[in-house]
Chain A
Amino acid sequence: MGVLKTLWHKLGSPRWFYDMSRSWSMIFGILAVLLLGAGTLWGLAYAPADYQQGNSFRIMYLHVPTALVAQSSYLMMGIAGVVLLVWRMKLADVLAAAIVPIGFSMTLIALFTGAIWGKPTWGTWWVWDARTTSMLVLLFLFIGVGALRDAITNLETAGRACAVLAIVGMINIPIIKYSVDWWLTLHQTSSFSLVEAPTMPSSMWAPLLLNVLGMYCFLGAVLTSAVRTGILKREQNTAWVNEVVEQELA
């Protein structure tokens, strides 16, 4: 507990985080390339085709990881919002701002790949069922939070307004997750779960696991980089940023 408490207090210092995270982007990036590379190659070329869908089921290796990361990143943004509102932690706001573009992209990929996958399997690009609609709402939430931040010039006000919207939007996350269980949808139920045994053989499931882990590492790499730039921007008038810039340009 003591260690966690110290860490919590240290997180209050953007400078501490900036120094800490120097190599994170690189580490996450390398892991992401390795995992996504291996998972994608395995999933595309070595995994067997599905007995019903044939090879179109390989789209799952992108659809599932991006959908998971999209929801996780929104959840992170909501939690960062709570931390900002309650503890007024600057770093939380920088993180929330950094999540918007990558979260939006992940949601967009999940929707795109879902539509492309839907055409050969369902017979339609799109259907307004609970899962697809709530996922579209997630996309609009990311757009909304991003637009809200751009619309408010005062940094502090913008941060708090975005935090409130992000927190309210968190209601959508359990709706997305359980939509396929609560209602009748065209979308099938979850194919990836950490607590249940997979419903497919390991030759199909292993590449999915690699890509899920890889996509989380990619999120980590992008977020670390964006947060570090965000910190420098917020603190641009301080001596330590001048020092850092000088050092890194040297």
Chain B
Amino acid sequence: MTRTRRGMHPVRRKRLIIVVFVFSGLALAVALAMQALNENINLFYPPDEIVGGHAPLNTQIRAGGMVKMGSVRRTAEGVDVEFVISDLKNSEFVVTYTGILPDMFREGQGVLATGRLLDDGSFLAVEVLAKHDENYMPPELIDMGKNNDS
């Protein structure tokens, strides 16, 4: 059997090589372009970049991270809100926002804020979106998990 198999017809092999070659070249070009644009493709600045001074001041940017547990403070009127975005490591910053928060906004959950980073290092948000993860869970199970954790 192996004797009779001589591989592909030379014309087809040539065509295949061309297709593979052109596709690889293109893929490489796209990969390099995306590498160069990496910063721009990221939707938001994580807390360590905000705290580390890598994010521009006083221009509209997005910042994201986790809402720190117990950090949400509302004013008496209930529309002004202040909370801390953290990366759960050592970077965190204060966000102030006036408006309605999304239903899914929770302490300990992901959040994405659009607004300006002020000179004092706090973030003045004009829009707040909730970010959720792929860990779906029925409520009963999560209560059990919490008991185990704490």
Chain B contacts of A50 at CB under 8 A? 136-138
Chain A contacts of B64 at CB under 8 A? 184, 186
Within 8 Å by CB of B128, from A82, A87, A123, lies A123
Contact present for A204 and B138 (CB under 8 Å):
yes
The reply to whether the CB of B130 lies closer than 8 angstroms to some CB of chain A is: yes
Closest to B28 in A: A171
Chain A contacts of B132 at CB under 8 A? 52-53, 121-122, 188
Closest to A120 in B: B103
The reply to whether the CB of B70 lies closer than 8 angstroms to some CB of chain A is: no
Tell me the dominant secondary structure on chain A's binding face: loop
Contact present for A200 and B43 (CB under 8 Å):
no
Closest to A81 in B: B19
Docked pose: A26 CA to B137 CA in angstroms? 37
Contact present for A120 and B104 (CB under 8 Å):
yes
Number of B residues contacting the other chain (C-beta, 8 Å)? 40
Q: Which of B15, B27, B64, B103 has the most CB of A within 10 A?
A: B103
Contact present for B46 and A168 (CB under 8 Å):
no
Closest to B14 in A: A86
Q: Could you give, for residues 28-45 of chain B, a 1 whenever the CB lies within 8 Å of some chain A CB and a 0 otherwise?
A: 001000100010011110
Docked pose: A36 CA to B128 CA in angstroms? 36
In chain A between 47 and 72, which residues have their CB closer than 8 angstroms to a CB of chain B? 48-53, 57, 60
Cβ-Cβ contact count across A and B, 8 Å cutoff:
112
Closest to A203 in B: B138
Binds B, one of A91-99, A124-132, A149-157: A124-132
User: Contacts A2-B1, A86-B19, A120-B103 hold; do A186 and B129 have CB atoms under 8 A apart?
Assistant: yes
User: Contacts A123-B104, A123-B130 hold; do A200 and B42 have CB atoms under 8 A apart?
Assistant: no
Chain B contacts of A167 at CB under 8 A? 19, 23
A-B complex: 4 closest residue pairs judged by Cβ atoms: A123-B102, A48-B138, A200-B136, A129-B43
Contact present for A128 and B43 (CB under 8 Å):
yes
Docked pose: A49 CA to B139 CA in angstroms? 8
Say how far A199's CB is from chain B's closest CB, in angstroms: 5
Q: Which residues of A contact B (CB under 8 A)?
A: 2, 48-53, 57, 60, 82, 85-87, 120-124, 127-130, 167-168, 170-171, 175, 182-186, 188-191, 199-201, 203-204
Chain B contacts of A191 at CB under 8 A? 134, 136
Within 8 Å by CB of B141, from A124, A129, A183, A201, lies A201
Contact present for A188 and B139 (CB under 8 Å):
no
Say how far B125's CB is from chain A's closest CB, in angstroms: 12
Q: Could you give, for residues 134-147 of chain B, a 1 whenever the CB lies within 8 Å of some chain A CB and a 0 otherwise?
A: 11111111100000
Contact present for A186 and B141 (CB under 8 Å):
no
Contact present for B137 and A189 (CB under 8 Å):
no
Q: Which of A121, A184, A190, A200 has the most CB of B within 10 A?
A: A184
The reply to whether the CB of B109 lies closer than 8 angstroms to some CB of chain A is: yes
Within 8 Å by CB of A57, from B19, B27, B136, B142, lies B136
